[in-house]
A and B are shown apart, each in its own frame.
Chain A
Amino acid sequence: AQSVTQPDIHITVSEGASLELRCNYSYGATPYLFWYVQSPGQGLQLLLKYFSGDTLVQGIKGFEAEFKRSQSSFNLRKPSVHWSDAAEYFCAVGVNQAGTALIFGKGTTLSVSS
């Protein structure tokens, strides 16, 4: 069965510091992987996605993620965090490129300290 694990429930990072949010997935076939961000009381915004090809994926807002098949991971990174990045981040695996029937991780709350 498909599953997504985000080991870190809450992370606090200083503004300007680098960030890495972890995501591990379990899926029998080629995974379609997504990272979404959710601001308080808001819906989800797609940050980036991986379908195939280059394992390092660039997204919006300066985020990137690296797909590592051997580790079943798709960690999200950002070199320098801004206070506006404070939000909830969800990793998800889908069965196709359209991301239908997404399975979400439980999310990681990012707090940014000044």
Chain B
Amino acid sequence: GAVVSQHPSRVICKSGTSVKIECRSLDFQATTMFWYRQFPKKSLMLMATSNEGSKATYEQGVEKDKFLINHASLTLSTLTVTSAHPEDSSFYICSARDRQGGSPLHFGNGTRLTVT
């Protein structure tokens, strides 16, 4: 089946630094990728929609300058958390939509970010 690889699975960084999370579709081309954030005991919150070759569309309340999204190819989207703060600590999950459409989203295994 379709696989979405997310890397790293865990990352710890210091306040003020930036961290990049990668989301790759391994066996299909993804025109659209989605980034979610999950707080403890909470649901997944859609942060932004990333379309290959164009700017990401951010959900209301999500700071685009803080959460930089790049979707440079049909198999790779990256989320960069810039100038990270402890409140950015969370579980981030990406998902990808097959270019051929018709199938549900495929999710990555998530990245646990801890900002100290």
Contacts and interface: CB of A to CB of B under 8 A. Distances in A.
Tell me whether A and B are bound partners: yes
Nearest to B109: A43
A101 B57 CA distance: 11
Contacts of A29: none
A96 to B, nearest CB: 9
Interface string A82-113: 00000000100010011111111111000000
B105 A43 contact: no
Given A97-B104, A100-B97, A43 B43 contact: no
Interface residues of B, number: 26
A106 B102 contact: no
B107 interface: yes
Interface residues of A, number: 23
A53 to B, nearest CB: 15
B3 to A, nearest CB: 11
B93 interface: yes
Contacts of A107: 41-43
The SS class assigned to the A binding surface is loop
Contacts of A41: 9, 109-110, 112
Interface string A41-78: 11111100100000000000000000000000000000
A52 to B, nearest CB: 14
Nearest to A109: B41
A44 B42 contact: no
B67 interface: no
Nearest to B103: A98
Given A97-B104, A98-B104, A43 B110 contact: yes
Interface of A: 9, 34, 36, 41-46, 49, 90, 94, 97-107
14 contacts: A43-B93, A44-B44, A44-B95, A44-B107, A97-B104, A98-B97, A99-B104, A100-B32, A100-B97, A100-B105, A104-B43, A104-B44, A107-B41, A107-B42
- Across the A-B interface, give the 7 residue pairs with the lowest CB-CB distance, nearest first: A43-B109, A43-B107, A99-B104, A44-B107, A106-B43, A104-B43, A99-B105
